């Protein structure tokens, strides 16, 4: 690949965005891109020009992002208080609601209508997969990211089949986790 051409993964890394966000921007024609066979390609010089144009509108962009972030609520469902506290510290730009049970999470989803749910797979009472099933009955469009220290392929496939946005394995990489959360929120708000 020539030095001037990049694929989605390279552009995502270059722009510090989630790959899904780059894909959606390309598909919507909001970022300069073209297809080679079925793969998106990006010219670095055009990406740089696009980025400079975005920076010019930075004041407006920051105001929009700030307004969006302040209004976003993330529900953390994990029976481990240390994990809850980790997310609360890591996600200071969002309103965070914490609970340790699937039963309580369902009540919060109905009452408080969070914008995203981080859901542990293994919990006492109803587990994460069953909680996911019930959340999707309440709000099928609510993005749910599954959390697991013991994630098996079968459990992750079941969660994906039931509509989970993705799964994250513990321990979490903070940058990757924030990127995935941001991508899930962007995807949900653009639907």
What is the domain partition of the chain in residue ranges? 5-56, 72-172+186-190
Contact between 167 and 148 under an 8 Å Cβ cutoff? The reply is yes
* The pLDDT of residue 69: 47
Q: How confident is the model at residue 70 (pLDDT cuts 50, 70, 90)?
A: low
What is the distance between the alpha carbons of residues 180 and 106, in angstroms, rounded to a whole number? 23
**Chain segment 120-133, per-residue pLDDT in tens:** 988 888 999 899 99
Query: Would you tell me how many other CB atoms lie within 10 Å of the CB of residue 125?
Result: 12
Tell me the two tokens of residue 22: 């780059």
Does pTM surpass 0.85? no
Tens of pLDDT, residue by residue over 169-186, are 777 777 888 888 888 888
Give alpha helix (H) positions in 71-151: 81-90, 102-112, 128-138
Share of the chain above pLDDT 90, in %: 27
The architecture that CATH gives domain 72-172+186-190 is 3-Layer(aba) Sandwich (3.40)
* pLDDT at residue 152, rounded to an integer: 63
Tell me the per-residue pLDDT of 16-39, one tens digit each, with 9 for 90 and over.
888 888 888 888 888 888 888 888
Question: Is residue 110's pLDDT more than 90?
Answer: yes
CB atoms closer than 10 angstroms to residue 64: 11
């Amino acid at each position: 690949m020539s030095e001037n051409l990049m694929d989605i993964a390279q552009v995502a890394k270059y722009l510090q965005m989630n790959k899904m966000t780059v894909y959606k921007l390309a598909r919507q024609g909001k970022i300069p891109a073209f297809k080679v066979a079925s793969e998106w390609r990006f010219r670095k010089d055009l990406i740089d020009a696009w980025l400079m144009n975005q920076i010019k509108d930075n004041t407006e962009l920051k105001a929009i992002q700030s307004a969006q972030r302040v209004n976003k609520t993330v529900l953390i469902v994990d029976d481990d208080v240390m994990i809850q506290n980790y997310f609360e510290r890591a996600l200071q730009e969002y309103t965070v609601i914490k609970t340790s049970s699937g039963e309580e999470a369902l009540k919060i989803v109905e009452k408080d209508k969070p914008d995203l749910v981080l859901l542990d797979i293994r919990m006492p009472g109803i587990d994460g997969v069953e909680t996911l099933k019930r959340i999707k009955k309440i709000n099928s469009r609510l993005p749910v990211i599954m959390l697991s220290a013991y994630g098996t392929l079968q459990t992750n496939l079941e969660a994906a089949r039931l509509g989970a946005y993705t799964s994250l394995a513990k321990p979490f990489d903070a940058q990757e986790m924030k990127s995935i959360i941001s991508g899930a929120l962007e995807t949900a708000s653009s639907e």
